[in-house]
Structure 1
Amino acid sequence: MITIRYATADDVPALAEIGLRAWEQAATGVADLDALRGIAREAFLQFLAAKWVTVIVAERGGVIAGWAAREKMDEEITDLWVDPALQRQGVGAALLVALEDAMRRSGIEAADLQTHARNAPALAFFRKQGYAVNWLSVTYSPKLDRDVESVGLRRQLVEDRPVGYGPGGF
């Protein structure tokens, strides 16, 4: 059974390690993992130390299996990381549903997120969850010393209501 809860400051080291393992899997073939591993670990630790209050955690059998965040508590899902050993077991979907439910309760009508264009497993996952490509971009990354293709995805969380006169509009 998957349980969703809010993160605590004590979770930061474990969440950073899960983020790092999932990042390594997602960045394989895109980045020099050996060169960037230390930078990535520090980035996860700094983000989580500063923003743990925006993070939700998924546990499976009492063990942290993944986490997700909305850094600015707006329509953008900034992070969704599942331990590679526990992927394809419903953890990511449970995290996404929890974020989307919180967004709806806050009056947010659509969820946005982004990933790199070569992250085929993430793209397939988000498409399966109802997300569609909203934009594509290419940006130079100084850390990687090359262009990186990004994909923005969006999912409508609230159905559009007809606008018009009378019951049901025109």
Structure 2
Amino acid sequence: MIHIRNAHEGETEILTNIGLRAWQKAMAAIGDSDVMMDGARDAFSNFTRDSWLTITVVENHGVTCGWAAREKLDENITDFWIDPDELRQGLGSALLSQIEHDVAAQGFDTVALQTHAGNEEAIGFFKAHGYVVHWLSVVYSPALDRDLPTVGLSKSLLPADDGTYGSAF
């Protein structure tokens, strides 16, 4: 059974490990992830320890399987990580649905995120959930100390226009 909840203080280790495993998989297209592992581990650990109030967790049968964050609690998803061993079970879809609900409940019309351009699996996942690529750019990543081709995706949270004019009587 899938359950979505807010993160708890003290979950740093489990959230770091999930983020790190998912990050390694996502970084496979770029390479050198082993070289960057210590820095990535520190970054995940610091973020999940210091920003746990911005993290939403997905569990399956009581086991934490992934998490997402909105660092500034705005319309931007800054992190979205599902344990690679738990993919294709609806966990990412359930987590994304909750994040979109939270963003809309705060009055935002759009939800947005960015990822590296080689992260085809994530881009495909978000496109399948109605996201559209709006930009492609090369962005310097301080964590990786390199320029990285990056895509920005977004999705409107407004009701779809049915093509009619006015109200139906």
Q: Tell me if both proteins adopt one fold, taking TM over 0.5 as the criterion.
A: yes
SS in 1 for 2:76: coil
Amino acid at match of 1:133: V
- TM-superposed CA distance for 1:121, in Å, is 0.2
Check conservation: 2:11, 2:49, Cα contact below 8 A: no
Check conservation: 2:10, 2:49, Cα contact below 8 A: no
Residues 1:140 and 1:51: Cα distance change in structure 2 (over 3 Å): closer
Of the structure 1 ranges 11-20 and 137-146, higher mean CA displacement relative to structure 2 is found in: 137-146
- TM-superposed CA distance for 1:34, in Å, is 1.6
- TM-superposed CA distance for 1:160, in Å, is 7.1
Identity of aligned residues (%): 47
- Alpha-carbon distance between aligned partners in 1 of 2:143 and 2:72, rounded to the nearest angstrom: 24
What are the ranges of 5 or more consecutive residues in structure 1 without an aligned counterpart? none
Give the structure-1-normalised TM-score. 0.91
Give the structure 2 partner of residue 75 of structure 1: 75
Normalized per residue, the structure richer in helix is 1
Give the structure 2 partner of residue 149 of structure 1: 149
- Alpha-carbon distance between aligned partners in 1 of 2:15 and 2:114, rounded to the nearest angstrom: 20
- Alpha-carbon distance between aligned partners in 1 of 2:66 and 2:114, rounded to the nearest angstrom: 18
Aligned residues: 165
- Alpha-carbon distance between aligned partners in 2 of 1:84 and 1:124, rounded to the nearest angstrom: 15
- TM-superposed CA distance for 1:159, in Å, is 3.0
- TM-superposed CA distance for 1:138, in Å, is 0.8
1:86 and 2:86 matched: yes
Check conservation: 1:31, 1:144, Cα contact below 8 A: no
- Alpha-carbon distance between aligned partners in 2 of 1:5 and 1:141, rounded to the nearest angstrom: 30
What are the ranges of 5 or more consecutive residues in structure 2 without an aligned counterpart? none
Cα RMSD, aligned residues only? 1.9
- Alpha-carbon distance between aligned partners in 2 of 1:86 and 1:135, rounded to the nearest angstrom: 30
- TM-superposed CA distance for 1:146, in Å, is 4.3
Residues 1:142 and 1:13: Cα distance change in structure 2 (over 3 Å): closer
Give the structure 2 partner of residue 16 of structure 1: 16
